[in-house]
Chain A
Amino acid sequence: MKKAILTILIVSASLILFNGCDLFGPKTVSPEERLTEFTSNLNSADRLSTYTHIHPEVTTFNQIKADTWWESTPFTTAYRTFSFSMSFTSESGGVKTYSGTMTNANGSVATVIKFREMDAGSGIWYINFISLDGVSIIY
């Protein structure tokens, strides 16, 4: 019995360690965590999954799955390394807005990023809108 309990504890600990809190429901992603993951993707060599940080309700979601789009925008690999300094500004209608600056090889530009939950109450936030210097990039 003692051995069985010990085994369950070890398996549970391993699952929590390697898969987050999946044992207790789906993993949540806060706007801050999403931004960190997005930034990490932008700074990596493999960009194929960058679109997965964008909310599927973004109007251009299907079109921006292509790498050609990312390479045509200010998020191109040519401008690495990217960093964002963003502060929460408001929340309205389930959308959280952050504003600040994005810094890359070209310096800094004023940036607004909005986040929206996958489903209300799911706790999984995605990027819903990005504008750089007043130009909507993801909308």
Chain B
Amino acid sequence: MKKFIISLLISAMLGSLYAQHSTLEYIEGEVVIKRISGDMEEAYIGDSISPGDSVITGADGYAELSLESSSTITIDRDTVFVFSHREKDEEKKSIFMIVLGKIGFKFDKLIQEPDIATPASIAGVRGTEFTVVSALDGSALYIVSEGSVAVEAKGGLVVLESQEGVAVPLGREPGEKFEVMIGQEDYSEWIDDGWKEFRDNPSDVLAGISSRLEEYALEAEDFYTRYDGSYRKLKSLRDKLDDIGNEQGTEARGNFYKKEVMPLEEVTGNFVLNYRYYALSALSLRRYVLTPMYVEMKTKYIMDQKNEIFTTFMKEYERFLSIFEEEVVPYLVEADI
């Protein structure tokens, strides 16, 4: 009975730790919510943002989200922000994904340290106030106002303290740390540089994004393989369950289930959560990074579709789609699309 009460208490604590609900406190200009169901809705103050939803701001858009933990997230213009979740080292983690644009974070009370992900990097948060900018060319910029943030990319790790920043080019380790005069930074130039980089070298930039997609696909495959092995083992244990039930009765079956099968079910289920996390991240890349690139190029070269820059871009575009179709779609389900 004591164990049951403790279990209930732990469950209740876990529930409050992992559930991160957020509400739109303020909006300006064009702000749209893409619901997990796929529906696009115009955003209104007071709207609830759920894990899996994306908040997308237009050229004049701005939004402020509040989390249950009294934390605030500010979403600048031309930004795509996705709230997701995955298992990491057997730990349940909230992931704030900045696919494109600029986000500011102010954590008053960290009930659970989230990870911040961009196409180029992933950052563990130990800080309280910082900004992340993700440009169209996939590169990311981290600026810390208060606390510390550990930024990891391609095996490289940089720990930023207050008033420090670092840029992470796509597919490379974080660069050198630099000092920041808080309040005097101008990110718009940096974001525009991402667009300029794309306009100057569209196929190279897209190739970098394709590499990121391949990484997501590899992670999804890796976790799927682990899931597959674990599920086979689980299946044979479940067959054994039936034998035990038939030979030794219901109580023996129940004991074997709780001791041997249930723990493996938890592990197997977590592998599914992980391969699905990477597949859904790849889907975000396709929706929010590839699509604006395609629209930009199609518009620019509408009258000159034989231009070499356009045809080279389209080849890379087709390569991206082919990787997506072959290596990501198998891990998606109809309800994702």
Listed in ascending order, the chain A residues whose CB lies under 8 Å from chain B are 48, 51, 55-69, 71-74, 76, 78, 97, 99, 105-110, 112, 114, 119, 128-129, 131-137, 139
Number of residues from B at the complex interface, CB < 8 A: 55
Whether B234 lies near A72 (C-beta < 8 A) is yes
A62-B36, A66-B333, A139-B92 as given contacts; A134 in contact with B11, CB under 8 Å = yes
B48 surroundings in chain A (CB, below 8 A): 57, 119
Excluding A64-B276, A105-B245, 7 further A-B contacts by CB distance (< 8 Å) are: A63-B85, A66-B333, A69-B269, A72-B271, A74-B265, A107-B257, A134-B8
Q: Which of A56, A69, A72, A97 contacts B36 (CB 8 A)?
A: A56
Whether B7 lies near A134 (C-beta < 8 A) is yes
Whether A135 lies near B262 (C-beta < 8 A) is yes
- A18 CB to closest chain B CB (Å) equals 24
A57 surroundings in chain B (CB, below 8 A): 19, 21, 48, 50-51
A57-B51, A139-B14, A139-B19 as given contacts; A133 in contact with B273, CB under 8 Å = no
Q: Which of B19, B268, B336 contacts A59 (CB 8 A)?
A: B19
B295 at the interface (CB under 8 A from A): no
A48 surroundings in chain B (CB, below 8 A): 334-335
A110-B7, A133-B7, A134-B11 as given contacts; A51 in contact with B276, CB under 8 Å = no
State the majority secondary structure of interface residues on A: mixed
B241 at the interface (CB under 8 A from A): yes
A-B interface, 7 closest residue pairs, ranked by CB to CB distance from nearest: A134-B7, A107-B254, A63-B276, A131-B11, A72-B268, A62-B52, A57-B50
- B62 CB to closest chain A CB (Å) equals 24
A74-B265, A135-B262 as given contacts; A63 in contact with B7, CB under 8 Å = no
B272 surroundings in chain A (CB, below 8 A): 63, 66, 68-69, 72
Whether B94 lies near A59 (C-beta < 8 A) is yes
